[in-house]
Chain A
Amino acid sequence: MNDTDLLAPLLQTVARPPPPSALSNALVFGWRAALKFKHVPEQLFDLVMTPIMFTLLFTFVFGGALAGSTDDYLQQFLPGILVQTVVFNSVYSGMGLSTDLGKGLFDRFRSLPIWPLSPFAGLMVGDVLRHLIAGTIILTIGLLLGYRPEAGFFGVVFAFALLVALGFGMGWIFIVLGLLIRTPTTVMTIGFSFLFPVVFASNIMVDPATMPGWLRAFVDINPVSSMTTAMRGLMGGGASPNQLALSLVAPAVLTVVLAPLTLHLYKKQ
C-alpha cells in the first residue's frame, strides 16, 4: 500500500503557510456549518416541522376563539412564532456541539494552532443560517395563509436582523449545556423542558390579560415577551426604541456572561 517513496515527498514538500487570522479560522468553521446543510438536509425538516405545526394548529384551531378570527390571530401570532422558532432552534447547536465533543473531532480542533473560540464562531454561523432558513420558511407560509407585514419589506429585514441577534444570545445557553453534557439527547431534553414553559408563559400565543395575576407578572418580565413585542413592532410598524432595547437586554446579558464561561469550560476540558 503506502511506500516510503510515496510518503516521503508528500512530507518534505509542504511548508507551513503563514498563520491564518482568527477571522479566517472562524470563516472556515462557518463553511463547515454550511456544508452540513448540504450533506444533512433532513435537519431542516426537524427545524421547521414544529413551527409549521404550531402555526397551523394555533391559527386554525384556536385562532377564532382567541382573537375573533383566524386572520386577526395570525397577524399577532406570526411574529411570535418566529421568536419561538429561533428560541427552540438554538437547542440544535448545543446538540451538535455535544455530538462533536463525544467523538474525537474537537480534540483535533483543540490540538491545532488556531484561535480557540473559532469552533464556536462556526456554530454561531450555523445557527444564523438555521434561523434565516427557518424564519424564511415560516414567513412564506404565513404570507400564503394571509399574514401581511404592515411595515413592509424593510420592516421584515429589520425584524430578521433582530431575530438573528436574539438567536445569537440564546445560543450561548445551549453551547454551555453542550459543553457540560455529553449526550446530545439529554441536551435536547433539558433544553426543551426549560424552553417550553418560558415560551408558553409569554405573550406569543395568548393575550396575557386573560391570565391570573401571578402568571401575568412572570409574562411581563419574561424576555421572550419583550422579544415578541419588539418583533410585532418591527413587522407591524411602530416599534419603539425602548421595546427594541428591552428585547436585546437578555441576549446581551447572556453573551457577556456565557461567552467567557464557554471559553473557560472549553479550556478546562
Chain B
Amino acid sequence: MQGSSASGVTFAVSARGLTKAFGNVRAVDGIDLDVPKGMIFAILGPNGAGKTTLMRMLATLTLPDAGTATIMGHDLSSDPHAVRGSIAMTGQFASLDEDLTGRENLVLLARLWGFRSRAAKQRADELLAAFELTDAAQRQVRTYSGGMHRRLDIAASLIVTPGVLFLDEPTTGLDPKARQGVWRLIRALADAGVTILLTTQYLDEADQLAARIAVIDHGKKIAEGTSRELKAATGSGFLHVTLADPEQLAQATALLEAVLQSSVQRSVEGAVLSIRAGTPKQATDALQALMAAHVELTDFTMGQPSLDEVFFALTAGPKETRPGSAS
C-alpha cells in the first residue's frame, strides 16, 4: 500500500483531470487522484480550495465539467447508480432528519437500501449499539450533541459496508474530545478494511490519520505523498524558538532570516518562530546571534517541519520548489 504508482494495486478511487467551474471560478481544476483500496487518504487544503466540490463529484452529487473517474471499478459518468451502490458519504453538514429519532433515521436509510422492516430495525440497533447511541436511540436528533450527531451520521454511512467512505471535514466544529472519538472511529473503520477518503483543513488531522495526503489549493493538486515525504520535500531541519518577550518578535525575525537566509514562519497563537535550518551548525549560529542581541528564549527545538510549515511552504512558496504532484 505504499506508492500509488505501484503496479498490482487496485484503486478504490481513480480520477483523471476532474474539473468543475462555478461561473468564472474553477473550483476544481484538473485533479488526478489515485486512492488505493483499504487506505485512509486525506485531501488537505484551506477553505475554498475545492475539497468539497471534488468530494461531491466523486460521490455523484455534482456533475464534473470535464474529466473521468472510476469508483470501485464503476465509471462515474456512465454508471452513477452503481457508484452510489458502493459508496457512502458523510457531508460537512449532518445529513440527518432532525425531527426524527436516531433510530428512525437509521431504519429509514436501511429501508431505502432494501432491508425489510424487521432486518432494518435490527441493523439500526446494531449500529446504535456499536456507536454508543443506544441510550439516545429514541430521542429526536435535534437534541443530540455535536459528537453524537457526527457518530450517528457516520453510522448512517455504514448501513451497508461501503467500498469507499467519503468524509467531508469529519471533525469540523467538534470539541477536542469528540474529535478524538471520531479519529478513533475512522482508524477502526480503516482497520476493518474500509477505504476512507477524507477532506480536512486541519494539518494534524491529516498527519494523524492518513497514509497519503494530497494537498490542494485553488482547485489544483499542488503536492501528494505520505506526511513524511511532504515534510522531507520542504526541507530537512527546522529550528523552532519560543520568545520570552513578544516585543522582540521583529528583531528576532530579522536576525534569524539574516543568519539562515530563509523566511520565518510565526505560529498562529503566539511567539513561536520557525525557520528552515539546513544543519545543526547553522542552527547554533542562529541561536548565538539571538543571544548576542539579548533576545531571550524560553525554549528552542530542532526538528522536522510541522505539516503547517509544509502547507505554508507549498501554498505560499515559489512554485518551482513544490514537490512533484504526478505519481
Interface residues of A (CB under 8 A from B): 1-4, 6-8, 10-12, 14, 16-20, 24-25, 28, 31-32, 35-36, 39-40, 103-105, 107-114, 118, 268-269
Residues of chain B contacted by A269 (CB below 8 angstroms): 61-62
Structural contact, A112 and B113, CB atoms closer than 8 A: yes
Structural contact, B95 and A104, CB atoms closer than 8 A: yes
B32 contacts partner chain A, Cβ-Cβ < 8 Å: no
CA–CA, A40 and B98, complex, Å: 11
Structural contact, A103 and B85, CB atoms closer than 8 A: no
8 Å CB contact of B95 from A11, A12, A105 = A105
Known: A2-B184, A110-B61, A111-B89. A16 touches B113 (CB 8 A): yes
Structural contact, A35 and B114, CB atoms closer than 8 A: no
Q: Shortest distance in angstroms between B265's beta carbon and chain A's nearest beta carbon?
A: 35
Q: Shortest distance in angstroms between A23's beta carbon and chain B's nearest beta carbon?
A: 12
Residues of chain A contacted by B61 (CB below 8 angstroms): 107, 110-111, 269
Residues of chain B contacted by A105 (CB below 8 angstroms): 95-97
Structural contact, A111 and B60, CB atoms closer than 8 A: yes
Residues of chain B contacted by A17 (CB below 8 angstroms): 113-116, 119
Closest residue of chain B to A7 (Cβ to Cβ) is B188
Structural contact, A14 and B161, CB atoms closer than 8 A: yes
8 Å CB contact of B112 from A2, A12, A103, A112 = A112
Structural contact, B192 and A103, CB atoms closer than 8 A: no
Known: A2-B130, A10-B158, A108-B156. A28 touches B87 (CB 8 A): no
8 Å CB contact of B123 from A6, A14, A25, A31 = A14
Q: Shortest distance in angstroms between B248's beta carbon and chain A's nearest beta carbon?
A: 45
Structural contact, A32 and B192, CB atoms closer than 8 A: no
Structural contact, B84 and A4, CB atoms closer than 8 A: no
Structural contact, A20 and B112, CB atoms closer than 8 A: yes
CA–CA, A269 and B100, complex, Å: 25
CA–CA, A111 and B112, complex, Å: 12
Structural contact, A25 and B112, CB atoms closer than 8 A: yes
Q: What's the interface size class on B, roughly?
A: 35 or more
Residues of chain B contacted by A32 (CB below 8 angstroms): 97, 100, 108
CA–CA, A11 and B140, complex, Å: 26
Known: A20-B112, A28-B108, A112-B113. A107 touches B95 (CB 8 A): yes
Residues of chain A contacted by B126 (CB below 8 angstroms): 10
CA–CA, A18 and B113, complex, Å: 8
Closest residue of chain A to B160 (Cβ to Cβ) is A16
Known: A36-B99, A103-B94. A11 touches B112 (CB 8 A): no
Residues of chain B contacted by A113 (CB below 8 angstroms): 81-82, 84-85, 113
CA–CA, A4 and B60, complex, Å: 29
Structural contact, A11 and B158, CB atoms closer than 8 A: yes
Residues of chain A contacted by B181 (CB below 8 angstroms): 1-2
- 23 example contacts (A-B, Cβ-Cβ < 8 A) are as follows A2-B181, A2-B184, A6-B188, A7-B130, A7-B185, A8-B192, A10-B158, A14-B160, A19-B114, A31-B111, A32-B108, A35-B104, A36-B99, A39-B99, A40-B99, A103-B93, A104-B93, A104-B95, A108-B156, A109-B112, A110-B61, A111-B87, A111-B89
CA–CA, A109 and B123, complex, Å: 18
Structural contact, B156 and A20, CB atoms closer than 8 A: no
Q: Shortest distance in angstroms between A31's beta carbon and chain B's nearest beta carbon?
A: 7
Structural contact, A11 and B184, CB atoms closer than 8 A: no
B33 contacts partner chain A, Cβ-Cβ < 8 Å: no
B194 contacts partner chain A, Cβ-Cβ < 8 Å: yes
B30 contacts partner chain A, Cβ-Cβ < 8 Å: no
Structural contact, B113 and A6, CB atoms closer than 8 A: no
B211 contacts partner chain A, Cβ-Cβ < 8 Å: no
Given contact pairs A14-B161, A107-B56, A269-B62, enumerate 5 new A-B contacts (beta carbons under 8 Å): A2-B181, A7-B185, A39-B140, A113-B81, A268-B63
Structural contact, B185 and A111, CB atoms closer than 8 A: no
CA–CA, A151 and B159, complex, Å: 52
Contacting A at CB under 8 A, from B67-110, are: 81-82, 84-85, 87-89, 91-101, 104, 108-109
Residues of chain B contacted by A110 (CB below 8 angstroms): 60-61
B193 contacts partner chain A, Cβ-Cβ < 8 Å: yes
Structural contact, A112 and B192, CB atoms closer than 8 A: no
B264 contacts partner chain A, Cβ-Cβ < 8 Å: no
Residues of chain B contacted by A24 (CB below 8 angstroms): 111, 114
Structural contact, A35 and B95, CB atoms closer than 8 A: no
CA–CA, A137 and B73, complex, Å: 55
CA–CA, A24 and B120, complex, Å: 13
Structural contact, B94 and A3, CB atoms closer than 8 A: no
Known: A18-B114, A113-B81, A113-B84. A2 touches B89 (CB 8 A): no
Closest residue of chain B to A25 (Cβ to Cβ) is B112
8 Å CB contact of A114 from B101, B112, B130 = B112
Q: Shortest distance in angstroms between A112's beta carbon and chain B's nearest beta carbon?
A: 6
Structural contact, A112 and B185, CB atoms closer than 8 A: no
Known: A104-B93, A105-B97, A111-B59. A11 touches B192 (CB 8 A): yes
B132 contacts partner chain A, Cβ-Cβ < 8 Å: yes
B131 contacts partner chain A, Cβ-Cβ < 8 Å: yes
Residues of chain A contacted by B104 (CB below 8 angstroms): 35
